[in-house]
């Protein structure tokens, strides 16, 4: 059973680059599973991109016009973030040691950065989108509907979810 009696999920897609600048596969949770052996390189420290898939699940214990919310309204709530700010951007942590150089290149060449205050892993992006949508609902005065979870797929086989 879910958090609410009724839950709906909408799926979004966007293309973006990022880097996990603090990745160290020889340390951290789970490193003992590979014998603390580090492959020749920490691949995710490099600039790279993904075809992201985002699943947003919202819910309610009641229906309005036989719906939790029309999918159109849910799409409207995140359209600006996903379609205009994240899509075809480079998501960068302002604490990344390369940030000053990336920002200078973006300014000089008109490149699209989406600057965040965290390492842009799938987990943290899921949390960011969750909190963004929750804030949108609060600002708009949406009642009796809550954000259940946000899942971010980086690849066809790897996703992270965030819920409260």
How many Å apart are CA 109 and CA 54, to the nearest integer? 29
Domain presence at residue 69: yes
pLDDT in tens, 123-149: 999 999 999 999 999 999 999 999 999
Q: What is the CATH number of the domain that holds 141?
A: 3.30.479.10
Q: What band does 39 get if pLDDT is binned at 50, 70 and 90?
A: low
CA separation, residue 60 to residues 31, 54, 135, 141 (Å):
40, 20, 17, 15
Averaged pLDDT, 35-50: 80
Domain presence at residue 127: yes
Per annotation, catalytic residue among 44, 55, 123, 161: 44
According to the model, what pLDDT value does residue 64 have? 96
pLDDT at 1 over 60: no
Domain that holds residue 80: 6-162
pLDDT in tens, 63-89: 999 999 999 999 999 999 999 999 999
Backbone phi, then psi, for 50, in 5-degree steps?
-140, 155
Domain count, the chain: 1
Per annotation, catalytic residue among 7, 55, 88, 123: 88
pLDDT at 11 over 80: yes
Averaged pLDDT, 18-24: 91
pLDDT at 57 over 80: yes
Per annotation, catalytic residue among 18, 50, 127, 154: 154
Rounded to the nearest 5 degrees, what angle is found at the Cα of 120, between the Cα atoms of 113 and 132? Answer: 80
Domain presence at residue 1: no
Contact 21, 162 (CB under 8 A): no
According to the model, what pLDDT value does residue 26 have? 74
pLDDT in tens, 88-98: 999 999 999 99
Q: Quick check: is 38 catalytic?
A: no
Mean pLDDT of the chain: 94
């Amino acid at each position: 059973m879910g958090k609410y009696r009724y839950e709906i999920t909408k799926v979004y897609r966007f293309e973006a680059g990022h880097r996990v600048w603090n990745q160290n596969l020889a340390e951290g949770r789970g490193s003992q599973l590979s014998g603390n052996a580090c492959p020749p390189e920490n691949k995710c420290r490099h600039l790279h991109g993904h075809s992201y898939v985002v699943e947003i699940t919202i819910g309610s214990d009641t229906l309005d016009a036989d719906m939790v919310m029309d999918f159109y309204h849910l799409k409207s709530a995140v359209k600006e973030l996903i379609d205009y700010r994240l899509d075809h951007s480079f998501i960068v942590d302002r604490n990344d040691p390369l940030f000053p150089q990336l920002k200078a290149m973006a300014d000089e060449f008109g490149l699209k950065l989406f600057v965040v205050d965290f390492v842009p892993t799938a987990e943290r992006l899921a949390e960011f989108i969750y909190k963004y949508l929750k804030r949108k609902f609060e600002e708009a005065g949406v009642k009796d509907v809550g954000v259940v979870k946000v899942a971010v797929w980086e690849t066809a086989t790897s996703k992270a979810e965030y819920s409260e």
